[in-house]
Structure 1
Amino acid sequence: MTTTAGVADLIGAFYRDVHNGRNPDRAADYLAAGYRSHHPAADGSLDGFRRTRTALLGDFPDLDARVDHLLVQNDRAMVFAHWTGTHRDHGPLRMGTADLYRVSGDRITEHWGVVDYSALLRMGMPVTDQARQPGEPPDWRCGRAEREALRLVIRVWEEVMTQHRLELTERYYRQDYIQHNEYAARSGAGLAGMKQFFAGLFQLAPDFSSQIKQLVVDGDKVGLFATWRGREASSGRELALATADVLRIEDGLIAEHWDVMDFAAVAKFGVG
């Protein structure tokens, strides 16, 4: 039987031994024989993981991950991490990623991911369309407060992020909302700054809408993967990106936000 504590321990050991241990050959100790990654940059099998990780370490021999958030719900774990390393030709790297893993027994069986490719793009490395990864419905097997947190986030994505009804944010966010996305925080502090940021984004692309692809709730935090699509009003160019977010809920309201956003996908629009 897969337990929450068991999932957390497995993922922690996977990052310690395989990623930070820089030992792709140990992947078989953690990934199932039928492991599948849905991320388009991944060669989605166990052997593919080893090949991809070995090639990455060839470019970044000192690559290291710091886990910022680990959310576990039943058989899934969502990990937000910052990676640092030094490219053999292009110098230092700082990169954010979010990964979602499904666990069965003592092995990871499935994977989805969101990568901020902006640092890799500057180094001439290829980027991929992350928005095409498959989604799945929420897992409602959780406590009452956690189910309410999931419903809150779903309402926000439907009414605010897709319908652009920024006047409704007063119902869903604390006035002293804390924003950890440095780019978004330039619009100002608190709920007022959040509204200002999204007002500008919706002006850039009036048909901009978002779809939640994955949701995980763990205590007072909700993690999600989402895709965003729209067209720039002035040019008609398509805007498409993938994001991953952590929202901390306090007294039924969104109080704090962290994310991984693929700035490479929106750089041509002056975002980032």
Structure 2
Amino acid sequence: MTAGEVHRRIVELWPEVLATGRMKEALGLIDPNVIDHRGGTDGDHHGLAAWRAKWERSISGETGFHDMSVEVEQNVADGDLSANIYRSRGTHTASGRRYDVRGMDMIRVRDGRIVEHWAVMDAVAMRHQLGQ
């Protein structure tokens, strides 16, 4: 699969992962030695276990959000890189307030699996919408 195809497929599988907790197919698109460049105080996360833990936190509601979704508005792929502009939506569980913000993410693919991931979301707009 090309980088764009892998990126599209992982986004398509995300709602199923959130709704059912089934991750097997989606995790099959992630390289065991993936680097997830998170930035901020979290820094980079390394390996498939860290990626799985990120998804498990989202599924469990530990992140403080539910009803989360991602809709890709534009994708640009070139060689082993694929970048998305997307809308992220969800509900802050404690307040019931909704957010709807844009973000960007990029992946690097090798042998049909994601080996690197970068993401940035409009955190200022998100905090404003959540009243923070």
Q: TM-score, length-normalised on structure 2?
A: 0.77
The alignment of Structure 1 onto Structure 2 pairs a total of residues equal to 122
Corresponding residue for residue 154 of structure 1: 8
Structure 1 runs not aligned, ≥5 long: 1-144
Match status 1:209 vs 2:69:
yes
- 8 A Cα contact 1:242 1:262, kept in partner: yes
Q: TM-score, length-normalised on structure 1?
A: 0.40
Distance change in 2, residues 1:206/1:243 (3 Å): same
1:91-126, Cα deviation, whole Å (9 max, x unpaired): xxxxxxxxxxxxxxxxxxxxxxxxxxxxxxxxxxxx
Q: Counterpart amino acid of 1:215?
A: N
**Higher RCO (CA 8 Å, separation ≥ 6 residues):** 2
Which protein is richer in strand relative to its size? 2
Corresponding residue for residue 167 of structure 1: 23
Distance change in 2, residues 1:267/1:261 (3 Å): same
1:61-94, Cα deviation, whole Å (9 max, x unpaired): xxxxxxxxxxxxxxxxxxxxxxxxxxxxxxxxxx
Structure 2 runs not aligned, ≥5 long: none
- 8 A Cα contact 1:166 1:195, kept in partner: no
CA distance in 2: counterparts of 1:184 and 1:214, whole angstroms: 28
Corresponding residue for residue 242 of structure 1: 102
Q: Percent identity?
A: 26
- 8 A Cα contact 1:239 1:266, kept in partner: yes
RMSD: 2.4
Distance change in 2, residues 1:180/1:188 (3 Å): closer
CA distance in 2: counterparts of 1:175 and 1:227, whole angstroms: 28
Distance change in 2, residues 1:225/1:153 (3 Å): same
1:141-199, Cα deviation, whole Å (9 max, x unpaired): xxxx5xx3222211111112x23246233211011111222248459432222222233
Larger C-alpha radius of gyration, 1 or 2? 1
CA distance in 2: counterparts of 1:241 and 1:235, whole angstroms: 17
